[in-house]
Structure 1
């Protein structure tokens, strides 16, 4: 029942993806994009039309002869669930095959949100979505999950993600849990990869081939795409960017990890630690005329301090963004992507973070006139993970 994230697609599937991503398209446009004969293309298009996968939606402009047929994906042939499992919030979305978002809901990941409770909560929401849109189980293609790593994607296991508020998030057979609960094929992929897939799909007409996605939040996560495909390593370690050493004599964030690592200076955990240390010394932070204790420091209070103009929080926030920019420059100098997409809670907390990080990255990036990096906060933003997870399920649909 499970999807493999690295299945080689067939000609039929590749043609379907082209129609789904760029339709309405003509047969001539499809022939230009795929190296197959005209008769084979006609046969595959006829097959998909009879099966209800694609629709003939009208006639295209004529070049002197008969007007060509226009083909478009049938959005209601199937529906897909996308799920993001993260540390601060998780998100469930329902999509049609045009990747239109039918419904979406987010919830906080508190100390009660164990794996078992998350599965039960998401399953209940899925049932509500199906009822709202009058969708039968036979109309569902599957569930795509974008989760915090490290993962064993082929085994469907979340190995040992850090900093979850609830207990029990070690060696979680999350794919099997959902397949048992919802009786649908389920794909597991790390959230950074699905975010990059989703954001890349949202700008598909720009023909970006080489892209980098970096998430700055409780941890630092990254994903790379080359020639339009995700780059995989031997093992899944999406958080390894956080272990990039930027100060050989620096401290480390916790009881494990590298000394002087990027996450020690540029993560929510690092910000919270710096501000708590300051409060323990002089207790100088006030928000809305009320003192803030070290125990109350979190991203919400940090963001409130920024909006209130607290000079210490402002300086710590800028320093974190500057260190993050150094890490970005290291990645860019290694890979030289066309596009660098930045996401995560720190990027979205205040415009200062994105601005400072990108300015520092540009100054420290080595490039010639032939290469100038382009930065973006993305199009889908907080919906990137769920969209990409659902999209990966659609791309592996058995045709």
Structure 2
């Protein structure tokens, strides 16, 4: 019992000591009431009062301007002239005066074939011509004598007729000899193979000592491709054809060419070919334009970006492309009203030029459209607005930075 009494006394003393040394552990600091933590409202009634932070956004101003209607597509470069060099006569290659990839001009000698046989034939034909010419001289003298005797009634008229026929026959033989010599000289010209056009040589497929034949139907001796000017070929949708034809009635259409990975226009030229029919399989039509390529920036077979202006959007409303969002019902933009509340506005985008969207419905000049902070918005949200000085003027087609239209950026609205 004595021990139990001591234990109870110890517990009581310990409790009194705790209350004396820690009297304010559960009380708020002096001069301050209880702390309240505000939580963001979920937008649903829960029976408890909650406060929500007002989101800050950045807006840009819609503008009205005339925007060129352009079509930017992938095309490829085609040579205007390509010649496959083949032998026009059989012969052995005696000399080669061209190398792989060499630039040549019209008339440059490429190959020399063995021409000894044809030269001998020409000499023989010239000898035959000289013989017939001598016989003609003799026949002319015989004709003169026969005609004189006939006029003096010493000889018959028949002798004169025979002498005249001999003269005419020799004249015919001389004409044949002359024609044969000309044909031989043409054959001789085939022994020297020359470049028919200016251009770049491809792979040389023969060398000295090889026998080449007219009957060979392979890749030829070599191929020459004209490097300037060149032609760009591309296709547009058949739905663009009416606008394209109307634009061509007013003025020649210019095509701008860029190479992949560059924003600079490397060449341009007039649109000079529209195919006579639409490809029924793809629903497209082929267009072509000739470009000078004086600086050698383009290459046959190369893929390029071709941009052609086919009209103008008059008084179109333009906004930064980043303002356009994609929703379940189509494209839209958040428009900031005078009361600093945003409206989810459906927008019709007809074209994008660089970082600019061209619209035809939904927006008007002067509207403030949200370009930053859309993820935290919904229709009717109150915002803190900052208007950015953004140049959303559509660039001209001739500008160096005219590029392939960017895809519409999509953001999911929370």
Higher relative contact order (CA 8 A, sep 6+): 2
TM band (smaller chain): under 0.3
Question: Looking at CA atoms only, which structure, 1 or 2, has the larger radius of gyration?
Answer: 2
TM-score normalized by the length of structure 2:
0.20
Relative to total residues, which structure has the larger helix share, 1 or 2? 1
Relative to total residues, which structure has the larger strand share, 1 or 2? 2
TM-score normalized by the length of structure 1:
0.21
